[in-house]
A and B are shown apart, each in its own frame.
Chain A
Amino acid sequence: MTIDFRRVRTLAGRVFRQIIHDRRTMGLFLIVPLIVLTLAALLLRAGQASVPLGLIDQDEPIDVMLVGEVSLAARITQTLRTTEGVSVIALEPGPAAEEALRRGEVRGIVTFGPDFSAAARDAQHISLPVRLEGSNPMDAFALQAVLTRAAVQALASLSPLASQLAGDELPVSIETTYLYGGPAFDNFDYLAAGMMALMAIFFAFILATVTFLRERSQGTMERLLATPATRLEIVLGCMLGFMIFALTQAATQLIFMVVVLGIHYAGSLLLVFLVEALLVIVAVNLGIFLSTFAHNEFQVVQFIPLVIFPMVLLSGMFWPVEELPDLLRPLAYLMPLTYGNTALRDILIKGWGLADIWPQLAALVVLAVALVAAAAASMRREVA
């Protein structure tokens, strides 16, 4: 089959004109991703909010040899006050404490009974009664870790040697070196790759699906197919037309990330752009293909939870693909975002080049070719 490139160019030009006539769509297309990215950057860089923890202290001090009078509860409290991630609130025993938990003023309550220190000394074991608010399992994880650390530290401080050597600090320090990234890299840098890949896919997908849906519903597809243009030419032409915008968007996004949001990156930005171009090709053809299964714009909107959400969840943006349940992992390898995220992360954070990321690129090329074929075939419904 030969391809007439004049017709392909004509088709691309038409799609281009359609989009520039619709100023608002074009504006949204370029600006919305920047808003989302800014929001994500602000959120991810804000640092962790501390969990409010209530303490009821009825502990009576005990006498420790060579150290003097000690309250373990007071020591734990002191450590907690200097610990990041929790804020300590002193509570009185009684119904008021439970009420504070109910109102969400504290996320958990630790009660030190009158014989807390004595019991710990006698049993050689610290037993901390914690009552959690319980809605958010993440709080439980965070509080358990913090409390264990504080208790161990308090116990250690009972040894006269430790208290003389290091004061309140643990006699431990960690010297860190990095294979990739570095101390400056933050949570946003880690998620930036996935966000960029997602934005590129999302908007190209929506644009292609809606445009092709209209093509079918307003009857112009019928007319197009009654011209000498082949299905492949139609898909290629429309793809090129969409790509002009999608790539402009990808470039705007990349410049914005680097210049305004100041992401850290180690690899080539040109390579980043190449990956984005591949993602756009895949997304456009996925859109053309799936538009066959939608009869109106409402149904296109339903494709977002059906197609985009699973892509995000399985792409490795939040959970590494290798750690996904066996049932879901093969699905992840069908999703273009998985390869996009991995490739962009490798380039941006690890500074890898073409020689290292080619498997991801190859996978995207395979997906793109398969989807171009599927998109062209999906037009078979209407024609001989």
Chain B
Amino acid sequence: MNDDAIILESVSKRFGKLEAVDGLSLTIPAGITYGLLGPNGAGKTTLIRLIAGLLRADAGAVRVLGASMPDKAILARIGYMTQAYALYTDLSVRENVAFFGAMAGQSDRARVDEVIALVDLAERASSLVSTLSGGMKQRVSLACALVHRPALLLLDEPTVGVDPQLRVQFWSYFRRLNNEGVTIVVSSHVMDEAERCDRLGFIRQGRLLAEGSSASLRQQTGMATLEEAFLAFAEGTIVTR
């Protein structure tokens, strides 16, 4: 738990002419919730896909849970919730969760039901995903990412379309996971959500603008809100240490 969960060293990834991630270095200690914050197109999803081993970095090193990515074996310890629901709509909730669990080596039925109860879908466990609302699908998606008890949870915009009450539930659960030693990386462009993260990274044009706790970021800029702090960094008025 004392080790760093993720270490990125001068990582670059380009798509054609677009420099999606540009010489970015970042260290995320284990057991915390880290927020990747930035506007759409800043490179958050590319960064998460690099950490999940779905992309190979053009330059630099990506180390996740002690392994150099991409590494298939380490994927059994990573839970990845994509921006889209990414579910089999012609399968039931339970079939989806059980399938992704089994793919990661978790075939305990009790665990499947436990996770479904956790996202408050026990009553809909046998329903086909195609019959669920958007928010429910989002919850199934989270359950699929959690079922195999990952040590690292990657959540790409997890609370889009989730109602406020459930969002609170999600965050209290994330807190519990942190206490169990699970590292969580959340990407978001919603600033008030970022307040809940232990550490934040401001991302823009594939670069890390600034990093720190919400309080320290606001303090550095002398701004009252994270939003203003972000803009201050983005305009280059503040130079990081």
CB distance from A147 to the nearest CB of B (A): 62
The answer to whether B54 and A228 touch across the interface, beta carbons within 8 angstroms, is: no
CB atoms of B80 and A14 under 8 A apart = no
| Interface residue B10 (Cβ < 8 Å from any Cβ of A) | no
The reply to whether B70 and A384 form a contact with Cβ atoms under 8 Å apart is: yes
Q: Which parts of B62-95 form the interface with A (CB within 8 Å)? A: 70, 72-73, 75-76, 78, 80, 82, 84-91, 95
**Given A14-B91, A222-B82, CB of A228 within 8 Å of CB of B56:** no
Task: List A residues at the B interface (Cβ < 8 Å).
Answer: 6-7, 10-11, 14, 17-18, 21-22, 218-220, 222-230, 382-384
Q: Known contacts A6-B102, A17-B91, A226-B54; can you find 7 more A-B pairs with CB under 8 A?
A: A7-B102, A18-B88, A222-B82, A225-B54, A228-B104, A383-B54, A384-B55
Question: A22 contacts which chain B residues (CB < 8 A)?
Answer: 90
Residue on B nearest A15 in the bound complex, by CB: B88
Establish whether residues B80 and A384, one from each chain, have CB atoms under 8 Å apart when the complex forms: no
Other-chain contact of A14, B56, B78, B99 (Cβ < 8 Å): B99
Ordered by A's residue number, 21 sampled pairs between the chains whose C-beta atoms are within 8 Å are: A14-B88, A18-B88, A18-B90, A18-B91, A21-B90, A22-B90, A218-B84, A218-B85, A218-B88, A218-B89, A220-B87, A224-B103, A226-B53, A226-B54, A226-B75, A228-B103, A228-B104, A228-B105, A383-B55, A384-B54, A384-B70
Measured CB to CB, the nearest residue on chain A to B154 is A226
Determine whether the beta carbon of B103 is less than 8 Å from that of A229.
yes
Q: Are A226 and B88 in contact (CB under 8 A)?
A: no
| Chain B minimum-CB-distance residue to A222 | B82
CB of B209 closer than 8 Å to a CB of A: no
Do A226 and B99 touch (CB < 8 A)?
Answer: no
The docked-state distance in angstroms from the alpha carbon of A10 to that of B144 is 15
Residue of A7, A18, A384 ringed by the most chain B CB atoms within 10 A: A384
Interface of A is mostly: helix
- A21 nearest in chain B by CB position: B90
Please give the distance in Å from A4's CB to the nearest CB on chain B: 9
For A22, A219, A226, A382, which residue has the most chain B Cβ atoms within 10 angstroms? A226
Complex partner residue of A10 from B76, B85, B91, B103, CB under 8 angstroms? B103
Picked from A7, A21, A219, the residue with its CB within 8 Å of the CB of B86 is A219
Q: Residue-by-residue, is B136-154 near A (CB-CB < 8 Å gives 1, otherwise 0)? A: 0000000010000000000
Q: In whole angstroms, what is the CA distance A230 to B70 when docked?
A: 12
Q: Determine whether the beta carbon of B86 is less than 8 Å from that of A220.
A: yes
B100 at the interface (CB under 8 A from A): yes
Chain B residue numbers with a CB within 8 Å of A10 are 99, 102-103
Contact of A222 among B86, B95, B104 (CB under 8 A): B86
Chain B contacts for A222, CB-based, 8 A: 54, 82, 86
Which residues of A have CB within 8 Å of B85? 218-219
Does B128 interact with chain A (Cβ within 8 Å)?
yes
For the complex formed, measure the closest distance between the CB of B60 and the CB atoms of chain A, giving whole angstroms.
Answer: 14
Do A227 and B104 touch across chains, with their CB atoms under 8 A apart?
yes
Residues of A within 8 A of B128 (CB): 21
What residues of B have a CB within 8 angstroms of the CB of A384 in the complex? 53-56, 70
Which residues of chain A are near B144, meaning CB under 8 Å?
223
Q: What A residues does B99 contact at CB under 8 A?
A: 10, 14
A331 CB to nearest B CB, Å:
35
Please tell me which one of the listed residues B80, B90, B95 contacts residue A226 in the complex, with CB atoms under 8 A apart: B80
Is B7 part of the binding interface, using a Cβ–Cβ cutoff of 8 Å?
A: no
**Quick check: A382 and B75 within 8 Å, CB to CB?**
no
Q: State the CA gap A10–B103 with chains docked (Å).
A: 7
Residues of A contacting B84 with CB < 8 Å?
Answer: 218-219
* B82 pairs with A219, CB closer than 8 A: yes
Q: Are A226 and B52 in contact (CB under 8 A)?
A: yes
Residues from chain A with a CB closer than 8 A to the CB of B87 are: 218, 220
Taking CB atoms, residues of chain A closer than 8 Å to B91 are 14, 17-18, 21
User: Are A223 and B105 in contact (CB-based, < 8 A)?
Assistant: no
For A229, list chain B residues within 8 Å (CB): 103
In the complex, chain B residues whose CB is within 8 Å of the CB of A230: 72
Contacts of B104 in A (CB 8 A): 227-228
| Per-residue interface assignment for chain B, residues 120 to 147, with 1 indicating a CB less than 8 Å from any chain A CB and 0 otherwise | 0000000010000000000000001000
Q: Which residues of B contact A6 (CB under 8 A)?
A: 102
Contact of A228 among B76, B82, B88, B89 (CB under 8 A): B76
Could you tell me if A218 and B100 are in contact, using CB atoms closer than 8 angstroms?
no
Minimal beta-carbon separation of A17 from chain B (angstroms): 6
- Set of chain A residues within 8 Å of B78, measured between Cβ atoms: 226
Q: How far is the CA of A21 from the CA of B86 in the complex (A)?
A: 18
Q: How far is the CA of A382 from the CA of B103 in the complex (A)?
A: 19
With both chains docked as a complex, state the minimum distance between the C-beta of A337 and any C-beta of chain B, in angstroms: 30
Asked if B82 contacts A227 (CB within 8 A), the reply is: no
